[in-house]
Structure 1
């Protein structure tokens, strides 16, 4: 291991479990375990999987003008965000380029938390500080001061119910992108969530797989025990420890971007994540002023990002050397992400998923390559392009979405 790499509190557990480790965001992280990426991916679709996400960073923003600062720096309009809810969006620079995407959590009108990607805690904290001017706001970078793990899959709540106090109360009225509790022991309110050993946690009904599940924030000293307890409690559900390989294939099939790969140093427009911008209903303007908004005006030189699905599980490497070629043979762009979602297949011209209610039981799911391309012209859903790297080439169909029938947004009572 590179001695300069940071580690999460679960690093020794990963090594003992035989994980294949690699540098991700300057952290020594597990790519996959002996189970393999395919089985880890399928475990989330069929039952449940857990992910070490302590490489991500959190920032507390507190003060009378906390709302004003975040609402100016963040792309989403949080004016209507309710206490106990969270929302996805991005932080842009003055050029309209994405510094990082993030989730903002609202504890109160003057207290928010922001969860950002690996290594971005200090950068976003400094970005906020540079824009606060005379506002009454305190900004606290919690990088490596908070641990985090995700449990994803249809059995997530059933497993967690064995490990938290008052599960019926905790899981009552907990829609998608809501949260309860706080990992800070000094904070206590009616929404508190505690493990059986009284450890406080922030439990968020969200995640990065597109499937039903939770993100759990807690004190770094408590995460190893919780990780082991979840594996033990979930044994009868065949819960599986999952690495970044399956996290990547799951998020890609769920049509979710990877920061600094699918979104980054180009204008934050013309992509599948327009919901992260505060558009008016006719999408001709924005509902608020925010940093970078002026730079997002359409121009002839703009690029377009589209989801795609391959014709089989064969994939190509992402990067500048893999070209997107249109029907005329012209190179029009590059591949940003290409992964294989092992839980889907083409069936009679449509994509079906293991989670589809109409999934034909005599049909074998083989997997489909999928991801995102960036091109220089507008494309329409259903159009096909060729993705080519050297002698390797695959046919890809432009999509509006990829893995159907995802469970993330379904009512929680379906999973109790």
Structure 2
């Protein structure tokens, strides 16, 4: 059975620019334009724009919306903001996942608290229907309306230290927009049925929802707007960012950047195994002592009763060489025993080793004359808990390389930097 490949509103633009295209999540998407390395480094040094209209949105509204999400979503909406674990409030968003009864991942997501009794959930390509159905199936009499907005939203990201400087040039009131917008917050409210409500506006009057989030580990924004408005904004940002060497970026740079930022790819780094024992414990509602959970949620019982443990760890190599991840990969311990598989293996081309320490092209303390040669990095899933600093081999049918288990990869990432530092 042949499935029709979908196209984003920017598809013709990508093809007119000679982008290398491929099917990703059922969408015809650009992998790269000039080169993956150039696009990766553009985000670390200046800015890059990404077409993310393949992502899906789901709205949840009604007096029972919060309770429905609290039951279906892993993070605790009543205790998820900052170190003090304050409740999610309007204008803020939070990362987590939707699990099945076995504690396995349906999809990861970001929940946006738009207003009282109104939420937007952003999920991965092709997952809007599945997540919407999961929410509806678990309504349990709650007063909530779940709407799948797949292919109704235009979405693009601008990422990199120059993102605000560039974006400010096309906003109607950049000073007001950039005041009071910390990491994982947003302004505006874009709804296809009511696109003018509480919107941030571009200087041509176009309403947008502007979120200070992204998938690169670097400072930047995600922008939601009407699909028929996205190409004009895309082209304007590329023009406005010319002096900052802005580049259109494809999925390959998105993958290498997110791997260096220790961010998972759904259905690859998280998937059909229990959503626990991984580098993203903040997505689960752990108690302060990490021995239990603060709320009930779908999958909780399975996670609490889990006995066949697997562990997901981040790793980094000594150079840019990679192996092919997947079922045919192997993780090999010091005794030569295969203990797991490789989930992701990418090359962060903005980092390198010097005297055993990792530096980034953006590191303020990088050694004089430092040049980033690139390091492979990613995630392994193994049958035992490994320690930070422990070496293992990863292998495919071509090569075997030694990597170290780490709790972080690319240093001096800018995603959390204060807005004032980036203007």
Asked whether the two chains share a fold, i.e. TM above 0.5, the reply is yes
Superposed, which structure 2 residues align to 1:350-365 within 5 Å? Answer: 350-365=357-372
Superposed, which structure 2 residues align to 1:231-380 within 5 Å? Answer: 231-297=238-304, 299-380=306-387
Asked if structure 2 preserves the Cα contact closer than 8 Å seen for 1:184 and 1:200, the reply is no
Separation in structure 2 between the aligned mates of residue 413 and residue 203 of structure 1, nearest angstrom: 17
Give deviations 1:347-372, integer Å, cap 9, x for gaps: 11111111111011312210000000
2:174 to 167, 173, 189: 167
Asked if structure 2 preserves the Cα contact closer than 8 Å seen for 1:67 and 1:109, the reply is no
* Aligned twin of 1:12: 12
Give deviations 1:197-234, integer Å, cap 9, x for gaps: 11100000000000000000000010011101111111
Superposed, which structure 2 residues align to 1:173-212 within 5 Å? Answer: 173-184=180-191, 186=194, 192-212=199-219
Superposed, which structure 2 residues align to 1:24-39 within 5 Å? Answer: 24-33=24-33, 35-39=34-38
1:298 offset after TM fit, Å? 5.8
Runs of at least 5 residues in structure 2 that lack an aligned partner in the other structure:
79-86
1:241 offset after TM fit, Å? 0.1
Return 299-308 or 71-80, whichever deviates more. 299-308
Separation in structure 2 between the aligned mates of residue 218 and residue 305 of structure 1, nearest angstrom: 36
SS in 2 for 1:161: helix
SS in 2 for 1:365: coil
1:140 aligns with 2:139: no
Separation in structure 2 between the aligned mates of residue 292 and residue 54 of structure 1, nearest angstrom: 30
Paired positions, count: 413
Give deviations 1:152-173, integer Å, cap 9, x for gaps: 0000000011101110000001
SS in 1 for 2:253: helix
* Aligned twin of 1:61: 60
SS in 2 for 1:291: coil
1:184 offset after TM fit, Å? 3.1
Separation in structure 1 between the aligned mates of residue 32 and residue 218 of structure 2, nearest angstrom: 19
1:111 aligns with 2:110: no
Separation in structure 1 between the aligned mates of residue 361 and residue 64 of structure 2, nearest angstrom: 46
* Aligned twin of 2:83: none
Runs of at least 5 residues in structure 1 that lack an aligned partner in the other structure:
none
Say if 1:298 and 1:393 are closer, same or farther in 2 by CA, change over 3 A.
farther
* Aligned twin of 1:151: 158
Separation in structure 2 between the aligned mates of residue 371 and residue 305 of structure 1, nearest angstrom: 10
1:301 offset after TM fit, Å? 1.8
Asked if structure 1 preserves the Cα contact closer than 8 Å seen for 2:49 and 2:157, the reply is yes
* Aligned twin of 2:84: none
SS in 1 for 2:414: coil
1:108 offset after TM fit, Å? 1.6
* Aligned twin of 2:81: none
1:390 offset after TM fit, Å? 2.2
Say if 1:262 and 1:97 are closer, same or farther in 2 by CA, change over 3 A.
same
Asked if structure 2 preserves the Cα contact closer than 8 Å seen for 1:182 and 1:192, the reply is yes
Give deviations 1:87-137, integer Å, cap 9, x for gaps: 000000000001000000001230000000000000000000000021100
* Aligned twin of 1:130: 137
Separation in structure 1 between the aligned mates of residue 223 and residue 185 of structure 2, nearest angstrom: 12
Separation in structure 2 between the aligned mates of residue 181 and residue 301 of structure 1, nearest angstrom: 45
Say if 1:135 and 1:312 are closer, same or farther in 2 by CA, change over 3 A.
same
Asked if structure 1 preserves the Cα contact closer than 8 Å seen for 2:190 and 2:196, the reply is no
Asked if structure 1 preserves the Cα contact closer than 8 Å seen for 2:114 and 2:189, the reply is no
Give deviations 1:373-406, integer Å, cap 9, x for gaps: 0000110000000011124011000001111110
1:411 to 401, 404, 418: 418
SS in 2 for 1:22: strand
